[in-house]
Amino acid sequence: MGNCFGFEDTPMMTIGTKTVRKSQMKGIKTYQDALRFMGRECSDTAVITIILNHQVSFVPVSAPFQIVDEIIFKQSHIPTRKLYGRRK
Protein backbone atom coordinates (compact mmCIF):
# COMPACT_ATOMS: atom_id res chain seq x y z
CA MET A 1 0.00 0.00 0.00
CA GLY A 2 1.49 3.33 -1.02
CA ASN A 3 1.64 6.67 0.71
CA CYS A 4 -1.41 8.60 -0.50
CA PHE A 5 -0.18 11.92 0.95
CA GLY A 6 3.21 12.00 -0.73
CA PHE A 7 6.55 12.10 1.04
CA GLU A 8 6.62 15.83 1.66
CA ASP A 9 3.06 16.27 2.96
CA THR A 10 2.61 13.55 5.57
CA PRO A 11 0.24 14.01 8.53
CA MET A 12 2.19 15.32 11.54
CA MET A 13 -0.38 15.84 14.29
CA THR A 14 -4.03 16.46 15.07
CA ILE A 15 -5.43 19.51 16.81
CA GLY A 16 -8.96 18.66 17.85
CA THR A 17 -10.51 17.10 14.76
CA LYS A 18 -8.18 18.79 12.24
CA THR A 19 -5.13 17.00 10.83
CA VAL A 20 -2.01 19.13 10.42
CA ARG A 21 0.24 18.15 7.53
CA LYS A 22 3.97 18.77 7.29
CA SER A 23 3.53 21.71 4.92
CA GLN A 24 0.98 23.33 7.30
CA MET A 25 3.15 22.76 10.39
CA LYS A 26 5.51 25.54 9.25
CA GLY A 27 2.72 28.09 9.76
CA ILE A 28 2.01 27.10 13.37
CA LYS A 29 4.52 28.96 15.53
CA THR A 30 2.34 29.95 18.53
CA TYR A 31 -0.75 28.63 20.29
CA GLN A 32 -2.68 31.44 18.61
CA ASP A 33 -1.72 30.02 15.20
CA ALA A 34 -2.91 26.59 16.32
CA LEU A 35 -6.25 28.01 17.50
CA ARG A 36 -6.66 29.88 14.21
CA PHE A 37 -5.96 26.62 12.37
CA MET A 38 -8.87 25.15 14.32
CA GLY A 39 -11.06 28.08 13.25
CA ARG A 40 -11.11 29.83 16.63
CA GLU A 41 -10.34 33.52 16.93
CA CYS A 42 -8.60 34.85 20.02
CA SER A 43 -7.06 38.15 21.03
CA ASP A 44 -3.32 38.65 21.34
CA THR A 45 -3.60 39.03 25.13
CA ALA A 46 -5.69 35.90 25.78
CA VAL A 47 -4.46 33.26 28.22
CA ILE A 48 -5.09 29.55 27.67
CA THR A 49 -4.72 26.49 29.86
CA ILE A 50 -2.53 23.63 28.67
CA ILE A 51 -2.29 20.15 30.17
CA LEU A 52 0.93 18.17 29.73
CA ASN A 53 1.64 14.98 31.68
CA HIS A 54 -1.17 15.75 34.17
CA GLN A 55 0.29 19.19 34.94
CA VAL A 56 -1.79 22.30 34.34
CA SER A 57 -0.16 25.52 33.10
CA PHE A 58 -1.56 28.90 32.15
CA VAL A 59 0.24 30.39 29.15
CA PRO A 60 -0.39 33.35 26.82
CA VAL A 61 -1.48 32.51 23.28
CA SER A 62 1.69 34.18 22.01
CA ALA A 63 3.87 31.47 23.62
CA PRO A 64 5.74 29.14 21.24
CA PHE A 65 3.63 26.12 20.28
CA GLN A 66 4.50 22.68 21.57
CA ILE A 67 2.54 19.45 21.41
CA VAL A 68 0.64 19.02 24.68
CA ASP A 69 -2.06 16.62 25.85
CA GLU A 70 -4.84 19.19 25.78
CA ILE A 71 -5.48 22.90 25.19
CA ILE A 72 -8.36 24.52 27.08
CA PHE A 73 -9.68 27.71 25.48
CA LYS A 74 -12.95 29.37 26.54
CA GLN A 75 -14.17 26.23 28.33
CA SER A 76 -13.62 23.99 25.30
CA HIS A 77 -11.12 21.15 25.52
CA ILE A 78 -9.00 20.66 22.41
CA PRO A 79 -6.87 17.49 22.42
CA THR A 80 -3.61 17.42 20.47
CA ARG A 81 -1.97 14.23 19.30
CA LYS A 82 1.34 13.51 17.61
CA LEU A 83 0.97 11.17 14.62
CA TYR A 84 4.62 10.23 14.07
CA GLY A 85 7.52 8.87 16.11
CA ARG A 86 7.71 8.49 19.87
CA ARG A 87 6.36 10.87 22.43
CA LYS A 88 8.58 11.86 25.33
Report d(CA 6, CA 57) in Å as an integer.
Answer: 37
Residue 59 has pLDDT above 60, yes or no: yes
DSSP 6-48: -STT-EEEEETTEEEEHHHHTT--BHHHHHHHHT----TT-EE
Look at the chain and report how many structural domains it folds into: 1
Whole-prediction pTM: 0.80
Q: Is residue 41 part of a domain?
A: yes
Residue 86 has pLDDT above 70, yes or no: no
Residue 65 has pLDDT above 90, yes or no: yes
Q: Is residue 6 part of a domain?
A: no
Digit-coded pLDDT (tens) for 24-46: 888 999 999 999 998 989 899 99
Report d(CA 48, CA 73) in Å as an integer.
Answer: 5
Question: By the 8 A CB rule, do 13 and 83 touch?
Answer: yes
Q: Is residue 87 part of a domain?
A: no
Q: Is residue 1 part of a domain?
A: no
Q: Is residue 43 part of a domain?
A: yes
Domain range for residue 43?
Answer: 11-82
37 backbone dihedrals φ, ψ, rounded to 5°: -60, -35
Q: Is residue 47 part of a domain?
A: yes
